[in-house]
A and B are shown apart, each in its own frame.
Chain A
Amino acid sequence: NAGVTQTPKFRILKIGQSMTLQCAQDMNHNYMYWYRQDPGMGLKLIYYSVGAGITDKGEVPNGYNVSRSTTEDFPLRLELAAPSQTSVYFCASSHDQGPNEQFFGPGTRLTVL
C-alpha cells in the first residue's frame, strides 16, 4: 500500500493565483482530513470528510474548498492565493473518528509571493 500520497511536494504561487493540492489514500479509509502547519505552531484542521460526498469545515477553512467525490481522493482547492496561506499542508486519513490512528501524507510546502 502507498498509504496517503500528496502532490505536488512543493509549489510557489503568486498572489491571486489558484491551485489544487491533491491527496489520495489506498487504505479504504472513510475519514480524510486537511491540515496546515505553520512554523512553530501545531497543526490546524482546515476541512475534513467522513465519506464520499460529505465534507465539513474545520478550524481554519477560510480561503479553501474541498470535494470528496470518491473514497480515495480528497483535493484541497485554493481559489485566490494569499501570503497568509504560505504553509505546509498535510492530508491525513483514518478508518473512523474513534481512537483510530490518523495516517499522514508527506506534505506539500506552499509559498505564496
Chain B
Amino acid sequence: KNQVEQSPQSLIILEGKNCTLQCNYTVSPFSNLRWYKQDTGRGPVSLTIMTFSENTKSNGRYTATLDADTKQSSLHITASQLSDSASYICVVRVLVAGRRALTFGSGTRLQVQP
C-alpha cells in the first residue's frame, strides 16, 4: 500500500469547470507537503507547499488545503484551462532516521477538454 495515495487516478473535465484532487498520506512524522504539476514529457514543477500549521494556501487558480489531523490534502483548481492538463503529484516530506525523505504519490492525470 502506497504511503501517499492520490485520487482519482485520472480525471476529465470541461474547460472552465472546477475540480478537486485528493491526497491522503500515512507517513509520519510529517514535515511538509508539496503539490507538483508535471506536464507530459517534462519534469515536475512545484505549485505550492504546505507546512503543519497551514490549512489553506493559494497560488492563482490553485488552492491547496491540508488537514494534518486526518492526514489529508486537496488541490482545488478553479476555472480550468486547457493548459491545466497535466499530472498533479502530491509529495510528503518526513523525517526518517533523522534525515528528511520525500514520499511521492503516483499522481492524478487531469485532462481538460474544450
A interface vs B, CB < 8 Å? Answer: 4, 40-45, 90, 92, 97-99, 101-102, 104-107
Beyond A90-B43, A99-B93, A101-B46, list 12 extra A-B contacts (CB 8 Å).
A40-B9, A41-B106, A42-B4, A42-B107, A43-B89, A43-B104, A99-B32, A101-B34, A102-B46, A104-B43, A107-B41, A107-B43
Which residues of the other chain, B, contact A43 by a CB distance below 8 angstroms? Answer: 44, 89, 104
The answer to whether B45 and A99 have CB atoms under 8 Å apart is no
Residues of chain B within 8 A of A44, CB atoms compared: 104
A104 with B89: in contact, given A42-B105, A42-B107, A45-B102 (CB under 8 Å)? no
Max count, chain B CB within 10 A of own CB: residue among A42, A99, A106: A42
Q: How far is the CB of B57 from chain A (nearest CB, A)?
A: 13
Cβ < 8 Å to A, chain B residues 3-37: 4, 9, 31-32, 34
What residue of chain B has the Cβ atom nearest to residue A92's Cβ?
B43
B86 at interface by CB-CB < 8 Å: no
The answer to whether B106 touches A42 (Cβ under 8 A) is yes
Q: How far is the CA of A102 from the CA of B36 in the complex (A)?
A: 10
> Which secondary structure dominates where chain B touches chain A?
strand
Contact A99 B51 (CB under 8 A): yes
Instruction: Tell whether B78 is near chain A: CB-to-CB under 8 Å.
Output: no
Contacts of B107 in A (CB 8 A): 42
Quick check: B102 and A40 within 8 Å, CB to CB?
no
17 A–B pairs (Cβ distance < 8 Å), ordered by A? A40-B106, A42-B2, A42-B103, A42-B105, A42-B107, A43-B89, A44-B104, A92-B43, A98-B100, A99-B31, A99-B51, A102-B46, A104-B43, A104-B44, A104-B45, A105-B43, A106-B42
